[in-house]
A and B are shown apart, each in its own frame.
Chain A
């Protein structure tokens, strides 16, 4: 083994070949990544390509890999005939409001969970963690009934309450984790100086948590935007129907205008792409939320 080290150090041609090997390794890696990337992105490209075909061309054999005539008629149709503007703004309103009050409650209570100990705290925290990935298909059943009984079906309020079942615990968990990383000394010093706990929270800790508020809001917004089950069950008319439900409902029992379905899927994905492009780093951190202890 000792001789090998000596070889590597003394023998300069050997070192050259080492850097050559590294270059070869990188080329191999890039090649392999591209090979996996092609099937990964193909369905996304296929959404865009299909959305640019005419309805006739989507029902033609053999399947064309690129549109013969590039056309935006599918986009025109879903906005003019199918009211997709409304579904977009519905989803936007529900996602934004759910996020806004999720963040507000989570910032306030998250501070409490991070700073104080009390009797049932471990149990509550376990519940908060589980609630983020609770089987939504079970929750949908009581929510359907409650909504009917209290007139919340087809209302923003009904959807916002339902979405809060997963947005609230999501925000609470991320905020709590972040507050725990802010040194206690800071708010305790403020309290020693005579500030109330609320003042210490508001003036000292909350300003420091601003990046976490942003990251949490982004994740919460995307999660709400992407939701399907609650929106499917709690909207029966197009009044508050969200984009997810609208996309899926374009698939007909007998005929489907696939260019419109694909245009709708593309439109529904645009806000995600925008958020994704600008806030990639925050999203990554959020995705790892509970999985890795920071």
Chain B
């Protein structure tokens, strides 16, 4: 066949070869390694985890789900915390990320250097942000309290606040750490969106007498709407299943006041040795991520 196609008229041969190839074995040989791997590495374990959610001490059934939804007040608490954690993280990350992206957009001395430096928190190993913020927020020897002291927040007789040790501030402190870690990601995406805007548009608008606010509202905002949506979706998904920051900073405590879904799953699986129930919570977490996940897939695989 190879020899033939060399001799024959190219265009028609080409089409014939193309049509023929569809039924050939090549596509499968190319694609098979990945597909098999994904099946074995992901589909199989998830399937196994899903099956075991129907196993409990009471036998075979939906007891684990009933327990999670109806009886386990900790699951409900963790779900609420997870929503707070994801929501306020996304808001904070977006506000800071967008501000920095706006400032970095356009001509600026040391622009490249600024951009790299702002990315640093995002690149750290997953445990490091939690570790350092735990140390910063330490009640006795933390530098945050020291700084508060120096600006006069505490009087001589005040006992410094243990930010991670009291129920009212623990979750908030983990959110602060998470915003710090996650805003550079927003910044990168939004900056790319801003840079895709043609400068001539701004020029033209200024010439037409549009002020800075009008240019922002009528050019910048519409231009980055799409990328903002994608960035927020991705950040929501990542924050919603975050484990490392909360686990390292508070492990969900004190008294479950910063318990999120991921830390609760970890506790059930590896401290309470109830893997079936942990898997059930995991499947619920997965189900909760379905909607943002599906939206993301739609946006990312759109052909335009």
A residues bordering B, Cβ < 8 Å? 1, 4-5, 8, 26, 29-30, 32-33, 36-37, 40-41, 43-44, 46-47, 50, 58-63, 65, 105-106, 108-113, 115-118, 122, 124-131, 133-146, 161, 164-165, 168-169, 172, 188, 191-198, 201, 222, 225-229, 233, 243-245, 247-248, 251, 258, 261-262, 265, 268-269, 272-273, 276, 280, 283-284, 287-288, 290-293
- A139-B243 Cα distance, complex, nearest whole Å: 13
Nearest A-chain residue to B241, judged by Cβ: A135
- A140-B119 Cα distance, complex, nearest whole Å: 29
Closest-CB distance, B274 to chain A (whole angstroms): 10
Enumerate chain A residues within 8 angstroms of B3, measured Cβ to Cβ: 194
Whether B41 and A168, one on each chain, are in contact in the complex, defined by CB atoms closer than 8 angstroms, is yes
Beyond known contacts A138-B279, A247-B131, A272-B123: 10 more, CB 8 A cutoff: A32-B99, A112-B34, A118-B27, A118-B31, A122-B301, A127-B42, A129-B300, A135-B286, A258-B135, A269-B128
Q: Which of B62-70, B84-92, B100-108, B215-223 contacts A (4 or more CB under 8 A)?
A: B100-108
Q: From DSSP, what is the main secondary structure of chain A's interface residues?
A: helix
Across chains A and B, which 5 residue pairs bring their CB atoms closest together, nearest first?
Answer: A112-B30, A138-B282, A109-B34, A142-B45, A116-B27
Whether A164 and B41, one on each chain, are in contact in the complex, defined by CB atoms closer than 8 angstroms, is yes
With contacts A131-B42, A248-B131 taken as known, whether A124 is within 8 angstroms of B35 at the C-beta atoms is yes
Give B15-41 interface residues, CB cut-off 8 Å to A: 17-18, 21-22, 26-27, 29-35, 37-38, 41
Nearest B-chain residue to A114, judged by Cβ: B30
- A112-B25 Cα distance, complex, nearest whole Å: 11
Enumerate chain A residues within 8 angstroms of B2, measured Cβ to Cβ: 194-196
Task: Tell me which of B116, B265, B283 contacts A280 (CB under 8 A).
Answer: B116
Q: Number of A-B pairs whose CB atoms are under 8 Å?
A: 290
Give B131-157 interface residues, CB cut-off 8 Å to A: 131-136, 138, 140-143, 145-146, 149
- A36-B73 Cα distance, complex, nearest whole Å: 40
> How many of B's residues come within 8 Å of A, CB to CB?
107
- A117-B46 Cα distance, complex, nearest whole Å: 27
Give B142-178 interface residues, CB cut-off 8 Å to A: 142-143, 145-146, 149
Enumerate chain B residues within 8 angstroms of A225, measured Cβ to Cβ: 125
Whether B49 and A243, one on each chain, are in contact in the complex, defined by CB atoms closer than 8 angstroms, is no
Whether A248 and B248, one on each chain, are in contact in the complex, defined by CB atoms closer than 8 angstroms, is yes
B residues bordering A, Cβ < 8 Å? 2-3, 5-6, 10, 13-14, 17-18, 21-22, 26-27, 29-35, 37-38, 41-42, 45-46, 48-49, 96, 99-100, 103-104, 106-110, 114, 116-121, 123-136, 138, 140-143, 145-146, 149, 180, 185, 188-189, 192-193, 207-209, 227, 230-231, 234, 237-238, 241, 243-244, 247-248, 262, 265-266, 269-270, 275, 278-279, 282-283, 285-286, 289, 293, 296-297, 300-302, 304
With contacts A105-B34, A142-B45 taken as known, whether A135 is within 8 angstroms of B289 at the C-beta atoms is yes
With contacts A262-B132, A268-B128, A269-B128 taken as known, whether A40 is within 8 angstroms of B118 at the C-beta atoms is yes
Enumerate chain A residues within 8 angstroms of B5, measured Cβ to Cβ: 191-192, 194
Whether A130 and B141, one on each chain, are in contact in the complex, defined by CB atoms closer than 8 angstroms, is no
Nearest A-chain residue to B116, judged by Cβ: A280
Nearest A-chain residue to B261, judged by Cβ: A137
Enumerate chain B residues within 8 angstroms of A243, measured Cβ to Cβ: 125
Enumerate chain A residues within 8 angstroms of B262, measured Cβ to Cβ: 135, 137
Closest-CB distance, A270 to chain B (whole angstroms): 10
Enumerate chain A residues within 8 angstroms of B285, measured Cβ to Cβ: 135, 137-138
Whether B230 and A291, one on each chain, are in contact in the complex, defined by CB atoms closer than 8 angstroms, is yes
Interface centre among A46, A59, A138, A283 (most CB of B within 10 A): A138
Q: List 7 A-B contacts (CB under 8 A).
A: A138-B265, A142-B49, A164-B37, A244-B125, A258-B141, A261-B135, A293-B302
